[in-house]
Amino acid sequence: MKTVNSVFKGKVRWEVLGLLSVLLNGVVYAGETPARCDIYIKGSEQSAITFPCTFSQRRGHVTITRSDEVTYSFTPIGDTPGNYEDQKGNTVYRQRGLGVDGVIFKLKNESVYIYWDATSLEQKTSEKKEP
């Protein structure tokens, strides 16, 4: 007959294994989502251009790939969240300002505004394709 102690230990083992599985799955697989990227040249209040893009994040590392094949890669630096370094060694800052609609990355010469909802961009693209 099992004792309460052995049943408890078995239950804890399964809970720990389940938690580890969730944590490892979150670390192993990168999150990737289609988005809209608006590019603002430093000092400008209007976006210079808008692209469909893909945003992904893995272990704090951020990758943004625009439809014109330009890719931004940001590596976290220091202990302060939102501080990054780009692939050229320049400092990048993640900023709030879009709320739940997206995120802003301030680079040396431009800012990239990422909007999670890219449907308006998709509608404009499909309108251009129609004769």
Q: How many domains does the chain have?
A: 1
Q: What is the mean pLDDT of the chain?
A: 79
Residue 10 belongs to some domain of the structure: no
Question: How many degrees, rounded to 5, is the angle at CA 86 between CA 39 and CA 43?
Answer: 35
Query: pLDDT tens for residues 38-56?
Result: 999 999 999 999 999 999 9
Answer whether residue 76 shows pLDDT above 70: yes
Residue 73 belongs to some domain of the structure: yes
What average pLDDT does this structure show over 28-43?
Answer: 86
Sign of the C-alpha dihedral computed for residues 8, 9, 10 and 14 taken in this order: positive
Answer whether residue 29 shows pLDDT above 60: no
Query: pLDDT tens for residues 101-125?
Result: 999 999 999 999 999 998 866 555 4
Residue 8 belongs to some domain of the structure: no
Q: What is the pLDDT of residue 55?
A: 97
Closest CA to 107 of 91, 95, 96: 91
Residue 7 belongs to some domain of the structure: no
Residue 97 belongs to some domain of the structure: yes
Q: What is the pLDDT of residue 30?
A: 57
Residue 48 belongs to some domain of the structure: yes
- For the ranges 9-13, 62-66, 104-108, 116-120, the lowest mean pLDDT is seen at 9-13
Residue 124 belongs to some domain of the structure: yes
Q: What is the pLDDT of residue 70?
A: 96
What average pLDDT does this structure show over 19-35?
Answer: 54
Which domain, by its residues, includes 76?
A: 32-128
Residue 11 belongs to some domain of the structure: no
